[in-house]
Structure 1
Amino acid sequence: MQRNRWTTVCNCRTTKRKLKADISAAFPSLSADDLSELVPNKEEVNVVKIYAHKGDAVILYVLHKNPVFFQLEKQLYPTVYTLWRYPDLLPAFTTWTPVVQKLIGGADLMLPGVVVSSAGLPDVKKGDCCAINVVSNRAPVAVGTAALSSSDMRSSGMKGKGVNVLHTYMDQLWAFGDKTAPPVTPLTDTSVQADGEMDGVESGEGGEDEGAENEGQHGSETAAVESSCQSLLDLNLGEQEQEVETEEAKEEVQEEEKDSRSPQEQMDSLLFQCFLHALKSKVKKSELPLLTGTFLRKHMASCCPRGRHLDIKKSSYKKLSKFLQTMQKEHSLIRVKELSKGVDSIVEVDWKNPELCSFCVPDDWEPPEESVEEGENCEVSYQPPEITPLYGVTARLEPLFQEAQKKKGSVIQASEVRTIVTDYVKKNELVHETNKSYVKVNPVLCDCLLEKSEYQEIEVLKWDDLFSRTLNRMQACHQLQFPGQAPVVRKGQVESIDITVASRGSNKKVTIIKNLEGFGIDPAVVADTLQHRVQASSVLHDIPGAKDRQLVQIQGNQVQHVGRLLLEQYQIPRKYIQGLDKAPKAGKKK
């Protein structure tokens, strides 16, 4: 969650009375005394409004600096701080301690991870508020809503999603309070089974011997629970302490250097210095247009003083694109243009700018030690883009996604598509009564997924066929996330790097490489690197019909060397490179 937007103090008796009424209606098991403890008449209750990452408004009710309830979409939910005082307030699902790490990371609780006691599952309906605790400890560690009713969970064979998690121990809502650890409150029933994962521990077996054994192990189980809960806290606190120690060490170094500027201001200054240095002594007019990523790696990084390191994330700009925009708008030093979608380039430099003309290279600057092959030295710092396949909702499929509020043109991942389709099937009760692996085809599924010739023939679909038909009828898209830049969503499949071998006069072979710019790779750097590696001449040519795109041409069949360069040093996935099969066979002349 993000920072709070406003905070008020709930002191009005009418407001407190209404809050108590809302809590009592949502949680009728609370007594009048419990309500008076949660909302004291003579103490302040702060009301804090914050915004989640998705933009949802969340209202917190804070007592003694701890959030006790939060309200999302007009529904009240207790926090873990409240549940530790009233562990029986909500029906609780039990899981193993290692699963809590996944929940803290943002995952929902899946049914295979639920530990079922001898008393069976808690009785819940779909959408009911429920809690999650760990084996042998009643103190909840998460709050959420039931993804299915208890009967549906049992009928599904305990497969699929069980609880949609809203809030967990150690998340930012927990960190809003005093950050205490869960109390150790052993479960009254320790006879559990987890879908066959704990062999020999089943209800109704063992008789008196098992009872005696459980009683003898009660103390050790309590200690184990306390240790497991503490281990979760130790893990996160250990990371926090390490970060604090690192920051303290940085502050000590700054004090020794007697630099009164903040670390952020120092990084801003270093970036500006390296930027001017690179333009003054590194960049040539013949290199323009120059990819912004190449400018940072090849030029600015080499201008960084020894012992210092450029890290844009530690500056006030956070991203390279924002830094370069500032250099363009406020200093008029450069002009940046998006020559190809999602890939920025420096197209113009004002060599007569007063700031650039007056800049002098620092006396203490020493050129970095460079390898003989300059091109390869640049490749080491290259980071490939993160590519995520996406799917767009088409007009034909819009009725299927309407309940999930996904309109035509909405772009989502495959996992979300599966979730939306599954929820639609279950909400409309389309799972086949006798064979759960089939889904009944209703009019919406018929119009969205079937061909006209199939309307009278197909009445049911297998789950896999249902998902594959849905994905095949969606608009293929993908997202490119370049380091230091905002993610870019494009329609269609990823345009792969294309490697071909052609003949040029007297049957001489040349290797041609296209589409490097789409992956943020500078064709000039690749040409220079290959020229040094294979000792063959290479040239750049503009691609006809493709504005501001170039191909690399190098003498001979060099597919093997090109493939090794792209796969090993640029780390481009093999599936995004076409033409690797054109490498010369062993024993044949290139």
Structure 2
Amino acid sequence: MFAKSFRVKSNTALKGSDRRKLRADVASAFPAFGPEQLSELVPGKDELNIVKLYAHKGDAVNVYVTGGNPVLFELKGALYPTVYTLWSYPDLLPAFTTWPPVLEKLVGGADLMLPGLTVPPGGLPQVQQGDLCAITLVGSRAPVAIGVATMSTAEMLASGLKGRGFTVLHTYLDHLWQFGAKSSPPSIALLDQDPPECRGNVKEEGPVQVDSVLQGDMECLTLHGDAESSMAHKALPSEATEEWREAGMDQDPADGKTFQEQMDELLLRCFFHALKCRVTKADLPLLTSTFLEWVGEQGRKVPTPSIVTPCSSLHHYCFPFLTCISAVSSPEGQQLDIKKSSYKKLSKFLHHMMKEQIVQVKELSKGVESIVAVDWKHPRITSFVVPEPSPTAQGVQEDTKEKPYHPPEIEPLYCIPANMTSLFQASGHTKGSTLSGSEVRAIIIDYAKKNNLVDANNKNLVKMDPILCDCILEKAEQHTILTLSWDKLIERCLQRLKPAYQVTFYGQEPIVKKGKICPIDITLAQRACNKKVTLIRNLEVFGLDPHSVAAILQQRGQASATITPVPGAKDAIQVQIQGNQINHLSRLLLEEYNIPRKYIQGLEKAPKTGKKKS
């Protein structure tokens, strides 16, 4: 819920009567609290504020803050403790334990899946569906997340610990935690000093299987090993076992090769496999994200690897790519982590292939690259032998789901030009700095108050000093306009700043770009024999693959679709489909991809449907 930033509506002190009501609500929600604990959590005289905010999905949340830390939050009438509260009262909620690497996924917004749990010697805590639970990490009782159980303990065990176990509401390191003192979890010793064991589905015959399935940036992580390797892990010290697990190795490097050399080899094999089996000359230029998706298609035709681990440095299209590389070219039990290869990043690998003159890669726009040419006669491509799919690969394609599309978050910003720097330099901003509208407003108000420019007779007016005159007024107005209202002042300031915007793709760091964002442009054009075609441009700006959009429209509109260059624009491509397909396109972009209507132009050109005759 708090994986992304929220918007604060108000922050006010809680009145005495409201404190008493809150104390009663807490006592009802958490009977384990005694009178002293209630007084500590909801003090009678110390500072206690209620912060009303809106989460990124629009949920209205009340957060209660005391001592600089959020201690409770209220959602749809239900009260929940924060991690700050649980660190003081670790036994308040039944606690389930998971592995430390899982925390990163929970912070990113994923729910906790049952295969990610560790089963202590005493068994799992007894809970019912809908019960509030704490989530801890192996080796500590300090809760790092809270969630609601989606099933009872009996149902968890009956399912073989598979499926979604907890809907995670709040975690350590999320934005609600950042709203407080940002302290780290305390060291709380385990009640039982014996280390917990991770219990999977153990059978007398066959392997020991432990699944770690996460929702979020990665749909699933699967761990499969045999009983012998499982015993070997138990024989290792815990630090070594964790290090090997993070490195993705269950055995020593084969043939004397280092783990990094194995990663490089796997990456090369899958790269050539995709070039020979999927890419054709007609597909070029080809976005690298599309190429990765096609690589994933090849990977789903062959056996899945015995171990698959996430690589956070890759784009969200890249999970099938990981599966393919491991599955196509690796022996049983091996895996890929591109971060542990010598290339570290996929873009660096592609540029290395360009230096060897195997492919040519160009940047269509900032952060968007495409493969524009392939040397099909290159010896390394012609000599590559495509491996035969294993019989055990049947059904892999159905089991591997493609990652859903997430529309980017777009925030309008303002860039400071050279002639406005004198107004913003006192606040520490220089030419080219980008600010949000609220930041600009706060800086203007602060500047006016510090320089005593607020009219003493009318607080709604601001007097113009030389800096404001130069930055805000036209030359002809500098001797005629002596004051401006707050609204006019800020409006004029925003008009004189240069436009910019911040775009954040799912699972990636925000990117700030200058200028106005190019909306998805839909136009109609005439072709031979007075036939109409629909043209769609700028899909890449919103992380959409033109080839995928063309394929969907081709199927729904029962019309031919092609990818063509944009006339007069270097390295830009557009989707062209026969007929007026704006109705299909409107449903696809607005309802399925959830692109805001303000970022799409041309929808008004859809064909009007005639009234049916009765």
State the TM-score bracket (shorter-chain normalisation).
Answer: 0.5 to 0.7
Q: Which residue of 2 aligns with 1:113?
A: 12
Q: Which residue of 1 aligns with 2:478?
A: 455
2 CA distance for matches of 1:511 and 1:108? 39
Please list, as runs of the form range in 1=range in 2, the aligned pairs for 1:115-514 lying within 5 A after superposition. 190=45, 230-231=85-86, 241-244=97-100, 246=116, 253=223, 256=226, 258=229, 262-265=245-248, 274-300=270-296, 302-304=298-300, 311-313=310-312, 315=337, 317=339, 322-329=345-352, 332=356, 334-349=359-374, 352=378, 354=380, 357-358=383-384, 360-361=386-387, 363-364=389-390, 366=393, 381-483=404-506, 487-514=510-537
Deviation at 1:293, TM superposition (A): 1.1
* 2:248/2:309 contact within 8 Å kept: no
* Change over 3 Å in CA distance of 1:225–1:485 after alignment to 2: closer
2 CA distance for matches of 1:428 and 1:548? 51
Deviation at 1:296, TM superposition (A): 1.9
* Change over 3 Å in CA distance of 1:362–1:435 after alignment to 2: farther
Deviation at 1:386, TM superposition (A): 3.2
Secondary structure of the 1:518 match is: helix
Deviation at 1:369, TM superposition (A): 7.0
Which of 537, 544, 547 is the aligned partner of 1:521?
Answer: 544
Deviation at 1:417, TM superposition (A): 1.9
What do residues 537-589 of structure 1 show as CA deviations (whole Å, max 9, x unaligned)?
Answer: 23333222111222322222211111122223333221111110111112189
Aligned-pair identity in percent equals 39
Deviation at 1:234, TM superposition (A): 6.5
1 CA distance for matches of 2:311 and 2:270? 12
Secondary structure of the 2:361 match is: strand
* 2:303/2:389 contact within 8 Å kept: no
2 CA distance for matches of 1:397 and 1:434? 28
1 CA distance for matches of 2:295 and 2:81? 54
Moved more, 536-545 or 398-407: 536-545
* Change over 3 Å in CA distance of 1:397–1:115 after alignment to 2: farther
Which of 566, 573, 577 is the aligned partner of 1:554?
Answer: 577
Structure number with greater Rg is: 1
* 1:499/1:512 contact within 8 Å kept: yes
What do residues 486-521 of structure 1 show as CA deviations (whole Å, max 9, x unaligned)?
Answer: 654332211111112233355433222222233343
* 2:417/2:432 contact within 8 Å kept: yes
2 CA distance for matches of 1:573 and 1:411? 23
* Change over 3 Å in CA distance of 1:188–1:317 after alignment to 2: closer
Moved more, 518-527 or 398-407: 518-527
2 CA distance for matches of 1:403 and 1:442? 15
* Change over 3 Å in CA distance of 1:425–1:336 after alignment to 2: same
Secondary structure of the 1:338 match is: strand
What do residues 150-202 of structure 1 show as CA deviations (whole Å, max 9, x unaligned)?
Answer: xxxxxxxxxxxxxxxxxxxxxxxxxxxxxxxx9986999729897999xxxxx
Q: CA RMSD in A?
A: 4.8
* 1:393 maps to amino acid: I
* Change over 3 Å in CA distance of 1:422–1:108 after alignment to 2: farther
* Change over 3 Å in CA distance of 1:492–1:555 after alignment to 2: same
Deviation at 1:106, TM superposition (A): 8.6
* Ranges in structure 2 where 5+ consecutive residues have no aligned partner: 17-21, 24-36, 53-78, 103-115, 118-197, 199-209, 213-221, 234-243, 250-261, 314-336
Secondary structure of the 2:418 match is: coil
1 CA distance for matches of 2:51 and 2:414? 37
TM-score, normalization by structure 1: 0.55
* Change over 3 Å in CA distance of 1:226–1:321 after alignment to 2: closer
Deviation at 1:530, TM superposition (A): 1.4
Secondary structure of the 2:500 match is: strand
TM-score, normalization by structure 2: 0.53
* 1:430/1:441 contact within 8 Å kept: yes
- Is the counterpart of residue 540 in structure 1 residue 523 in structure 2? no
1 CA distance for matches of 2:290 and 2:501? 23
Q: Which residue of 2 aligns with 1:574?
A: 597
1 CA distance for matches of 2:503 and 2:425? 27
Deviation at 1:279, TM superposition (A): 2.8
* 1:290/1:345 contact within 8 Å kept: yes
Q: Which residue of 1 aligns with 2:252?
A: none
2 CA distance for matches of 1:423 and 1:302? 59
What do residues 360-393 of structure 1 show as CA deviations (whole Å, max 9, x unaligned)?
Answer: 436436366769xxxxx97x64343332322110
1 CA distance for matches of 2:43 and 2:270? 65
Secondary structure of the 1:391 match is: strand
Deviation at 1:536, TM superposition (A): 1.5
* 1:478/1:491 contact within 8 Å kept: yes
* Change over 3 Å in CA distance of 1:432–1:496 after alignment to 2: same
* Change over 3 Å in CA distance of 1:418–1:238 after alignment to 2: farther
* Change over 3 Å in CA distance of 1:324–1:341 after alignment to 2: closer
Deviation at 1:400, TM superposition (A): 0.8
2 CA distance for matches of 1:363 and 1:230? 53
* Change over 3 Å in CA distance of 1:239–1:485 after alignment to 2: farther
Deviation at 1:241, TM superposition (A): 4.3
* 2:13/2:47 contact within 8 Å kept: no
What do residues 251-306 of structure 1 show as CA deviations (whole Å, max 9, x unaligned)?
Answer: 99466473885344469587666444323422223322211111222332551566
* 1:366 maps to amino acid: A
* 2:263/2:340 contact within 8 Å kept: no
Number of residue equivalences = 395
* 2:339 maps to amino acid: Y
Secondary structure of the 1:409 match is: coil
What do residues 42-74 of structure 1 show as CA deviations (whole Å, max 9, x unaligned)?
Answer: xxxxxxxxxxxxxxxxxxxxxxxxxxxxxxxxx
2 CA distance for matches of 1:226 and 1:512? 52
* 1:334/1:348 contact within 8 Å kept: yes
* Change over 3 Å in CA distance of 1:286–1:194 after alignment to 2: closer
